[in-house]
Amino acid sequence: MSKYKICVYAISKNEEKFVSRWVESMKEADDIYVLDTGSNDHTREELKKRGVHVTKKIIKPWRFDVARNESLKMIPKDVDICVCTDLDEVFVKGWRKKLEELWDEKTTRLAYNYNWSLDEKNQPKVNFYIEKIHSRQNYQWTHPVHEVLTYTGNNKENKKTTDLITLNHYPDSKKSRSNYLPLLELSVKEKPLDDRNVHYLGREYMYYGKYQEAIDTLIRHLSLETATWKDERCASMRFIGRCYRFLGRYRESEMWYKLAIKEAPYLRDSYMEMAILKYLERDFKLVEHYILLALDIDYHPKTYINESFSFDATPYDLLSIASYYLNKKEEALYYVDLALKYNPGDKRLLDNKKKILGMN
């Protein structure tokens, strides 16, 4: 007999192709509830066919936090544990049993393993903890986008963290995220001193190629009194450096990368970004220098600030190229072989290997 009543809840819109896989993954729960926000495909019908409780509601103006809160309202008050997921996510089987073993009467929220990005072999590229399993009472979603589950209780929140539960993310690359930028701008307008949202907005400007807006916003993030998490501060500095690199202003880019390294010398990412800059400048001695510094760091933090290029084939690829131009044939061959272990069929790497083998 189950110790707790557990329900999954989600929001959906035009996600018919994910329904079967998602329900199969979530059916370990006692019930599944979905708020559909206006699908014009067969999402609702396919969910209902599989026994999911579905309600349709159009959210205008659109906000993720409002939609999440409306979906949470669907869950009965007597439920013990709520599990919020999206339809493009899949739990590793057996998650419910592990959840019941971990949860106790004092627990209010659980952080668990989230693979935000996976490679073609289903191995994690970007991995961190996510905290969307929670008790039924005393929680609400806040922020228009990159919404956060916020504790509203009077007593102390009691969190637990585990690696025994894993949720994998398989996003639809064709799905538009064009509403993220205006929603982030709204979020910062509503709470201008929220350091997390200011960081996200600066990053989004960078993704959109609005480099000066990104630089200004990320500098503002660094000026906020609450912006004290070194990993995130380091990321803001890296992104500023990256924006200057994209603008071709390499001197300023290098300055910000140096600041990023100083802010969080235990993270690989700043050394990697500096190495990429030096590669563009054709300074292969410094490419080698910074890549070797990066490879000296084994620490791989489980946070959303993870650059996949810091832990994939990229360090060995760059180091092989640098070694080639520094006339170090043995090192160049050694590192290109390491890069090929990550990407065995990569034509460019294979061509590089042939070129190295042809060295005098």
| Whole-angstrom distance, CA of residue 236 vs CA of residue 238 | 5
The partner residues of 124 in beta bridges, in order of sequence, read 118
pTM value surpassing 0.85: yes
203-225 burial, b at 16+ Cβ within 10 Å, e below that, comes to bbbbeeebbebbbebbebbbebe
Q: Please name which of 321, 313, 314 lies closest in space to residue 288, comparing C-alpha atoms.
A: 321
Cβ neighbors of 132 (< 8 A, separation 6 or more) are 83, 84, 85, 149
List, in order of start, the domains of the chain with CATH numbers.
6-169 (3.90.550.10), 180-299 (1.25.40.10), 312-360 (no CATH)
Both tokens assigned to 303: 């946070």
Cα of 173 vs its chain's centroid, Å: 14
pLDDT of residue 1: 63
Would you say the C-alpha torsion 263, 268, 273, 275 has a positive or negative sign?
A: positive
116-135 burial, b at 16+ Cβ within 10 Å, e below that, comes to beeeeeeebebbbebbbbbb
pLDDT of residue 123: 87
pLDDT by position in tens, the chain (length 360): 678 999 999 999 999 999 999 999 999 999 999 999 999 999 999 999 999 999 999 999 999 999 999 999 999 999 999 999 999 999 999 999 999 999 999 999 999 999 999 888 888 888 999 999 999 999 999 999 999 999 999 999 999 999 999 999 999 877 777 789 999 999 999 999 999 999 999 999 999 999 999 999 999 999 999 999 999 999 999 999 999 999 999 999 999 999 999 999 999 999 999 999 999 999 999 999 999 999 999 988 888 888 989 999 999 999 999 999 999 999 999 999 999 999 999 999 999 999 999 986
The partner residues of 111 in beta bridges, in order of sequence, read 161
CB 210, CB 230: distance < 8 Å: no
pLDDT of residue 290: 98
Cβ neighbors of 51 (< 8 A, separation 6 or more) are 23, 32
Instruction: Assign 150 to helix, strand or coil.
Output: strand
- State phi, psi for 350 to the nearest 5 degrees: -65, -40
| Whole-angstrom distance, CA of residue 278 vs CA of residue 281 | 5
pLDDT of residue 83: 98
Q: Please name which of 221, 290, 215, 230 lies closest in space to residue 258, comparing C-alpha atoms.
A: 290
The partner residues of 33 in beta bridges, in order of sequence, read 9, 53
Contacts 24+ apart (CB under 8 A), 41-48: 41/14, 41/16, 42/16, 43/12, 43/13, 43/14, 43/15, 43/16, 43/19, 46/16, 46/19, 46/20, 47/12, 47/19, 47/23
pLDDT of residue 177: 77
For 94-107, how does the pLDDT look when each residue is reduced to its tens digit (9 = 90+)?
Answer: 999 999 999 999 99
For 58-69, how does the pLDDT look when each residue is reduced to its tens digit (9 = 90+)?
Answer: 999 999 999 999
Instruction: Assign 2 to helix, strand or coil.
Output: coil
Both tokens assigned to 20: 């079967």
| Whole-angstrom distance, CA of residue 279 vs CA of residue 291 | 11
